Amino acid sequence: MQSSDSNLASPLTVLNGVGPALAIKLERLNLNRVEDLLFLLPLRYEDRTQLVRIGALQAGNRCLITGEVLLAETVYRGRRNLLVRMSDGSGQITLRFFHFSRQQQAQFQPGVRLTCFGEARKGATGLEMIHPEYRVLRENQDAAINDTLTAIYPATEGVQQGRLRNLTDQALRLMQQHPPEELLPQPVRDRLGLPELVDAILYLHRPPADADVTSMLAGTHPCQQRLAFEELLAHYMSLRSLRALAQTEDARPLANGITEVDSFIKSLPFVLTGAQRRVVDEILSDLSQAHPMMRLIQGDVGSGKTVVAAIACLKAVACGVQAAIMAPTELLAEQHWRSFGDWFRPLGIEPAWLSGSQRAAARREALASIADGSASVVVGTHALFQEGVEFQDLALVVIDEQHRFGVHQRVALREKGVGEGSYPHQLVMTATPIPRTLAMAAYADLDTSIIDELPPGREPVSTIAVPETRREEIVARVREACQSGQQAYWVCPLIEESDVLDYEAATASYEMLTEALPELRVGLVHGRMRPAEKERGMQAFKDGTIQLLVATTVIEVGVDVGNASLMIIENAERMGLSQLHQLRGRVGRGTTQSHCVLLYKPPLGQLARSRLAVLRDTNDGFLVAQRDLELRGPGELLGTRQTGLPDYRIANLVRDAELMPGVQLAAESIIRDTPRVGAAIVRRWLGDAGRYGKV
């Protein structure tokens, strides 16, 4: 974070006790400047505002006590222990230390008075405190009792809580001497009942003894909401400014090619749904503008996003420029390459293929065709944006399963199309339906289109949850389906057996099913196979020469086999809802009624039971995603930590979702009426990272 106030923006080394070595340790907690300490909120609080009599202590309580040392001795019970017996007249307690120095041991002379804070536990000779925080009292010195609750901060190696509290105290004093500017407009604070910034920060670091700790631990206290609101506002306005910037940037207007697009749509062996047509119209309108399209397509599994992307690419080709399609895995990228080839070859367009596993000669040939423009459509993995890949005239970038790419990867591909002051159009797609509040926070720089209609004739997939004790029944069901001419998937989380994770491994399941079903042709596909080997297995399944495919979650996205009507998922209780929904989407792509069986290991916990119930009850991807968001959080819902989602210090997109409509309203008025304030809010929370969303 940055601040207009030089004192708070100073490096931490201006604080007493912070030298170069400690500064390096603090950097692990993202603490670089004084004000960073203000926004490092406590994880929890301890009550050291009152002394508890030792005689009244109960096991499990964390309390502040004081008393006199009766004796101290070193004992050897497997390891060296320092035992200090202490009394306050109402009772006795033992302090136990495993790590101690000779100097420390010498402090505990009989008659010395101490104050200690720790958790009382049952020990061999009564109550104990193990490694309590303690202070030796001078003669006639009273035990220090805090006026406020004691903050417990996120820890890092080599930085004790006492040190963090001392540094935070110094930062709070500086803040009170040089208060940061109150940037959140008074009407916004009044409408939401939020306190001022300085008051909120002071309260959260040093809450009074009667503070509502329950709401603070839940993150719902008005003081936390005050900070979360401003942080969400900063991220939202940053994205909105990127969107506004895109409106000022130049792009090649792709206005021609309407005839080619119309004839292509008519030549398809299926009719586009109303939702697909609506989204196509939105994309074609964007492409005809003189500034870059920045559009997100959301569509549930099987809704037909790929053909919509193909229509956008055809429009680019008809206008004489290049289009690039990037997918996160070779399997998915290859499928797009084959689909685009089947659609475009009759039009005289041969898509180029670029991946990291290509042989040198094929790669050289692909690079040459990309550079001279003879490859008008290029499909590939992250290899597309690597050094040495030069496009002649890249004007459209399509990114599939965009959340699987980090921000820098998406920016790198975008930069391949920057030339003479113009920027490429961008179309990003996801099969992970994103709840509205999350989309509002994460993709405010993009226009959003939703394909909310499945192709005609598709039946919803029937889903049941079955304990693994009924495995034989499921194997019999697979035999029946395959012998009737259908195909089936059997998905396992791991490739090999693991002692650590009690999962069914794909290799073990493959051997079991091959033995149990000798009359069926069983195949195996997993992520450690060479791409060519994996492709052969997938192609054999697609061609029907394999009836039952045993696979890891490598088949989660992109594989399209219309004849597959049965999906078995092992250890379903250990997978996330959205991943299970993606896997389920591999079946139900034909006109036959399809089924998904969620095999689980009993007994089921409450969380796993509710997760599987969601899948049993609905095929609606948005409902599934909303529940997954509530259960797991946005980072996991959208893939991995490299999603490009910003790291929030205080805000939580699940917990604080209800703030987003207010954030949107506040942002509009601030951007319109006080743009200087908007820039300052973004600077405070994002610093120079305000351009993170430029993708």
Q: What CATH number does the domain containing 136 carry?
A: 2.40.50.140
What is 376-442 written as a DSSP string? Answer: -EEEESGGGGSTT---SSEEEEEETTGGGS-HHHHHHHHHTT-BTTB--EEEEEESS---HHHHHHH
Domain carrying residue 530: 462-618
**Does any domain span residue 691?**
no
User: Of the residues 603, 618, 633, which one is the last residue of a structural domain?
Assistant: 618
CA 30 to chain centroid, in Å, comes to: 19
Q: Is the domain of 416 the same as that of 540?
A: no
pLDDT band of 693, cuts 50, 70, 90: very low
SS3 content of the chain, % helix, strand, coil (to 5): 45, 20, 40
What pLDDT does residue 642 have?
37
**Does any domain span residue 236?**
no
Q: What CATH number does the domain containing 604 carry?
A: 3.40.50.300
What pLDDT does residue 530 have?
78
Average pLDDT over every residue of 142-169: 88
273 pLDDT more than 80: yes
Q: Is the domain of 424 the same as that of 307?
A: yes
Which tokens belong to 549?
């495919």
pLDDT band of 418, cuts 50, 70, 90: confident
pLDDT band of 173, cuts 50, 70, 90: very high
User: Of the residues 618, 634, 668, which one is the last residue of a structural domain?
Assistant: 618
For the stretch 61-83, pLDDT in tens is 899 999 999 999 999 878 889 99
Which tokens belong to 509?
């399941």
Q: Is the domain of 307 the same as that of 322?
A: yes
For 545-666, strand residue ranges (E) read 548-551, 564-569, 595-600
Q: Is the domain of 287 the same as that of 162?
A: no
527 pLDDT more than 90: no
pTM, two decimals, is: 0.70
| CA 236/CA 230 separation, integer angstroms | 10
Which tokens belong to 655?
């917990």
* Contact yes or no for 547/522 (Cβ under 8 A): yes
What pLDDT does residue 196 have?
95
First to last CA, the chain: 22
What pLDDT does residue 383 have?
87
350 pLDDT more than 50: yes
What pLDDT does residue 404 have?
63
Q: Is the domain of 74 the same as that of 139?
A: yes
| CA 32/CA 43 separation, integer angstroms | 20
**Does any domain span residue 88?**
yes
What pLDDT does residue 686 have?
84
What pLDDT does residue 639 have?
44
What pLDDT does residue 434 have?
73
| Average pLDDT of every residue of the chain | 87
3 pLDDT more than 70: no
Q: Which amino acid is at 307?
A: V
**Does any domain span residue 670?**
no
Q: Is the domain of 539 the same as that of 579?
A: yes
478 pLDDT more than 70: yes
Smallest Cα–Cα separation from 57: which of 124, 127, 143? 127
* Contact yes or no for 579/556 (Cβ under 8 A): yes
pLDDT band of 393, cuts 50, 70, 90: very high
What is 158-220 written as a DSSP string? Answer: TB-HHHHHHHHHHHHHHHHHSPPP--S-HHHHHHHT---HHHHHHHHHS-BTT--HHHHHHT-
Average pLDDT over every residue of 606-629: 84
Smallest Cα–Cα separation from 664: which of 333, 491, 440? 440
What pLDDT does residue 640 have?
37
Q: Is the domain of 316 the same as that of 413?
A: yes
pLDDT band of 2, cuts 50, 70, 90: very low
Buried b vs exposed e over 511-524: b needs ≥16 C-beta within 10 Å?
Answer: ebbbeebeebbbbb
Q: Is the domain of 496 the same as that of 551?
A: yes
307 pLDDT more than 90: yes
Average pLDDT over every residue of 400-419: 72
SS3 annotation, 483-552: HCCCEEEEECCECCCCCCCCCCEHHHHHHHHHHHCCCCCEEEECCCCCHHHHHHHHHHHHHCCCCEEEEC
User: Of the residues 88, 118, 145, which one is the last residue of a structural domain?
Assistant: 145
Task: Please give the angle made by the CA atoms of 366, 367 and 370, to the nearest 5 degrees.
Answer: 85
Which tokens belong to 456?
């005609």
402 pLDDT more than 70: no
Which tokens belong to 219?
């993150």
Q: Is the domain of 467 the same as that of 583?
A: yes
Q: Is the domain of 298 the same as that of 408?
A: yes
Tally the domains of the chain: 4
| CA 54/CA 37 separation, integer angstroms | 35
Average pLDDT over every residue of 571-591: 84
What pLDDT does residue 695 have?
32
What pLDDT does residue 421 have?
75
Q: Which amino acid is at 66?
A: T
579 or 674, greater pLDDT: 674
**Does any domain span residue 678?**
no
Parallel, antiparallel or unpaired: strands 150-152 and 44-46 = antiparallel
| CA 153/CA 574 separation, integer angstroms | 31
Q: Is the domain of 466 the same as that of 545?
A: yes
Please give the share of the chain, as a percent, with pLDDT higher than 90: 56
Q: Is the domain of 447 the same as that of 469?
A: no
The answer to which of 13-27, 307-321, 365-379, 434-448 has the lowest mean pLDDT is 434-448
* Contact yes or no for 445/247 (Cβ under 8 A): no
What pLDDT does residue 646 have?
59
For the stretch 197-250, pLDDT in tens is 999 999 999 999 999 999 999 899 999 999 999 999 999 998 888 888 878 889
**Does any domain span residue 245?**
no
**Does any domain span residue 248?**
no
What pLDDT does residue 175 have?
95
For the stretch 623-672, pLDDT in tens is 887 787 777 655 544 443 334 455 788 998 778 888 988 999 999 999 99
pLDDT band of 315, cuts 50, 70, 90: very high
Buried b vs exposed e over 176-195: b needs ≥16 C-beta within 10 Å?
Answer: eeeebeebbeeebbeebebb
For the stretch 357-385, pLDDT in tens is 888 999 999 999 999 999 999 999 888 98
592 pLDDT more than 90: no
6 pLDDT more than 80: no
What pLDDT does residue 406 have?
58
Average pLDDT over every residue of 663-688: 90
**Does any domain span residue 381?**
yes
| CA 282/CA 280 separation, integer angstroms | 5
What pLDDT does residue 177 have?
92
What pLDDT does residue 256 have?
92
